[in-house]
Structure 1
């Protein structure tokens, strides 16, 4: 126990001095999360006394100690965000967050406020919104009262009503493009009975009818797939430089152009993930695993957090050590709002789940428990969310 105490004290001291590496931070996290019996109240009191408090005023320090003592982290009074990790691990992350793990050599990139704006009270959550582009280039704005469309001899909504008249569905070369805007989601039942759910700001390109030999689609953005089994016709999904091949399975692909990687997460079945034109780089995923393809890199595999990846399909923001910047990307897409950073904003990590049906203001009220503030404004026709330091 004494050795553990000394080790943790040393790591915290290195962090205070700005010398703690990412690996050491991870080790500190592990120490605190794996030693519930060893890390007692007396140790925490000594740790808190040793950590430099110059960046926190007395009230902030009291708030920090109170949160640690009461075993809470980023939890609203209504407990909409639930604690998902051991208390000691949460407390460790809270300390890291409150003392500022700065990005880009100490700060987020900020946007000078040169434009006039008006205060915006709230923003409604996203809903069923999508457009269907047909082979002749015409665009159909789909009914927001419906959840999706079904491909067949005719294209219908899920309630059986027609999407449009006289659309030719007989040729496997006829391509459709289903796209969702920021603030929109939709689903499509394909010709073979497979179902694809599109998250916000996403696009699926697919044929009116699949060929007799294979089933191929292209995805940009994020989609959840439930693929019907067909041993004679493999199902292939292309996203950027990768292709996922399946026979029948359930998986999620996140392939947004403005994100650093393409993530493929397997829920059920088995899939093969290939680099384009490089079959030798193929990897196979088991349920619960996730492949990651970074720009210009190789495909790596790790154990994934299923709910963190597919929670959106269940109507949830699901955060599990989700960085502030990544959380803001999700917020930006679902509420169709531009994100900016004002001043020196320290990195914060969020844990828990929030219904995506909540208005933006309600979501922000919960996130502000994580030592960050927000300003919601409108500039002409554009909604803007500015992230501010809580100090």
Structure 2
């Protein structure tokens, strides 16, 4: 690999801006084994880390372990430990402490309920995976993660199948869109579950944990309408004659063909509609807003106002790519995401920490691996209970 100072600075800037691809991240970490880049890394990482935790000295870190935690992989060779922690890495480590039953204390040391250091914990919690239940129009429920691949059911002329790569596929090619009866199906995911769905019109839907989407087994009429609770990412098939509509709470989102994310969990206190490509129209009673790429609409329950703001679309949608990504995200919001993905309860004792998290980490990590890194940061106590 031909390493240059110019390339190093380019990769470092992209990493700080969170526009670094996985391959570029691997290349950046390869520089960390070279002494000539150590001083530059020390300065940048120390500045960022101390801005996150004022008055806190940066700790020595094993970069191979850090890299594996972020990506869910490992570096091709051992890299030298360096002083300081780059801010996205440090924050990503902090957030994982929420797994299990969390108790915040003030003793500045991480221990489990027996008093042992977190790094020596034998108990582990696996991440979530492809888990979902399909409810057919006649009330039949099919547990998808325990079912073999192939045809699951037929509703009219629509064939419903589980594919070899773990997706739920609706094949409505034998229909003509004039069916008189409407068969509504519901796909739901539990805590620690996610699933991908291909609707009868070939629209792709990624369903996050603790979510449900209801839809007809074949779209007929002038609109393609689905109902969502929880969170999902949509890649809508274009069809100008049949607009696509998502109903979530009191809001309706109308599109012709575009990519967008909807987050509508009850415990989040608001619905968020975030646009990646194209445009969507968000309606709330008589109020309406048109979104453009990079914009997010926010709707609070019981209101008729639609607020707009600019967002980092990767931060919003990277959950479907196997990553937690946070940008100055309040710790309680981070904890709720961890709770849903690891299927755990979180309990706070005493004053809740006023922390904001910036960083990314692979959703494929088991808890124990992250806790070993947490043990080095200090500042928080926790217990994992049954």
C-alpha deviations, 1:55-111, integer Å up to 9, x for none? x9xxx96xx1446xx9x9xx99624459xxxx9x969x99xx9xxxxxxxxx99xxx
Matched residue SS, 1:334: helix
Corresponding residue for residue 15 of structure 2: none
CA–CA separation in structure 1 for the residues paired with 2:151 and 2:297:
29
Aligned residue number for residue 229 of structure 1:
238
Contact residue 243 and residue 274 of structure 1 kept, 8 A: yes
Query: CA separation in 2, counterparts of 1:351 and 1:371?
Result: 17
SS state at 1:327 partner: helix
Q: Distance in 2 between matches of 1:132 and 1:318?
A: 29
Structure 2 residue 117 is the aligned partner of structure 1 residue 129: no
Q: CA-to-partner distance for each residue in 1:173-207, whole Å, 9 max, x for gaps?
A: 11001000000001111110101110000000000
1:273 to 282, 288, 292: 282
Q: What runs of 5+ residues in structure 2 fail to find an aligned partner?
A: 1-42, 72-83, 95-102, 105-112, 115-120
| CA distance in 1: counterparts of 2:127 and 2:151, whole angstroms | 22
Contact kept, 8 Å, 2:168 with 2:198, in 1: the verdict is: no
Q: Is the 8 A contact 2:151 2:159 kept in 1?
A: no
Partner of 1:159: 164
* In structure 1, C-alpha distance between the alignment counterparts of 2:295 and 2:195, rounded to whole Å: 26
* Structure 1 residues 367 and 146, CA gap change in structure 2 (3 angstroms): farther
1:331 corresponds in structure 2 to 338
1:288-299 correspondence to structure 2 within 5 Å = 288-297=294-303, 298-299=305-306
Question: Structure 1's 351 and 162: CA in aligned 2 closer, same or farther, altered over 3 A?
Answer: closer
Deviations 1:302-333 (A, max 9, x none): 00111211111000111111111111101110
Are 1:355 and 2:365 counterparts?
Answer: no
Q: Go from structure 1 to structure 2 and tell me whether the alpha carbon gap of 1:143 and 1:256 turns closer, same or farther (over 3 Å shift).
A: same
Q: Number of residue pairs matched?
A: 288
- Alignment check: 8 A CA contact 1:261 1:292 kept: yes
Instruction: String of CA shifts for 1:355-390, please: whole Å, max 9, x gaps.
Output: 100012334445664843432121xxxxxxxxxxxx
CA distance in 2 between partners of 1:147 and 1:284 (Å) = 40
When residues 188 and 173 of structure 1 are mapped into structure 2, their CA distance, relative to the original with a 3 A threshold, is same
The Cα shift of 1:146 comes to 7.9
Question: For residues 304-323 of structure 1, what are the structure 2 equivalents within 5 Å?
Answer: 304-323=311-330
Distance apart, 1:293 and its partner CA: 0.5
1:124–1:360 Cα contact (<8 Å) kept: yes
1:147·1:186 contact (CA, 8 Å) conserved in 2? no
Give, in whole Å, the separation in 1 of the partners of 2:378 and 2:64.
Answer: 10
What is the rounded CA distance, in whole Å, between the counterparts of 1:335 and 1:221 in structure 2?
16
Distance 1:122 1:234, change over 3 A: same
User: Counterpart of 1:142?
Assistant: 144
Distance 1:350 1:370, change over 3 A: farther
C-alpha deviation, 1:296, in angstroms: 2.1
Relative to the length of structure 1, the TM-score reads: 0.64
Q: Quick check: 1:206 aligned with 2:208?
A: no
Q: Structure 1, residues 206-232: CA drift from partner, whole Å, max 9, x if none?
A: 001111311000000000000000000
Q: Which shifted more, 366-375 or 202-211?
A: 366-375
Give the structure 1 partner of residue 76 of structure 2: none
d(CA) in 2 for partners of 1:270, 1:361? 42
C-alpha distance in structure 2 between counterparts of 1:171 and 1:364, whole Å: 56
Q: What is the distance in 1 between the residues matched to 2:199 and 2:144?
A: 16
SS at match of 1:143: helix
Q: What is the deviation of 1:149?
A: 9.2
Change (3 A) 1:273 1:129: same
2:194 matched to 1:188?
no
CA distance in 1, matches of 2:180, 2:187: 17
Q: What's the offset of the Cα at 1:163? A: 8.2
Q: CA RMSD in A?
A: 4.1
SS in structure 2 of the partner of residue 330 of structure 1 = helix
Corresponding residue SS for 1:377: coil
224-233 vs 299-308, which deviates more? Answer: 299-308
Greater relative contact order (CA < 8 Å, ≥ 6 in sequence):
2
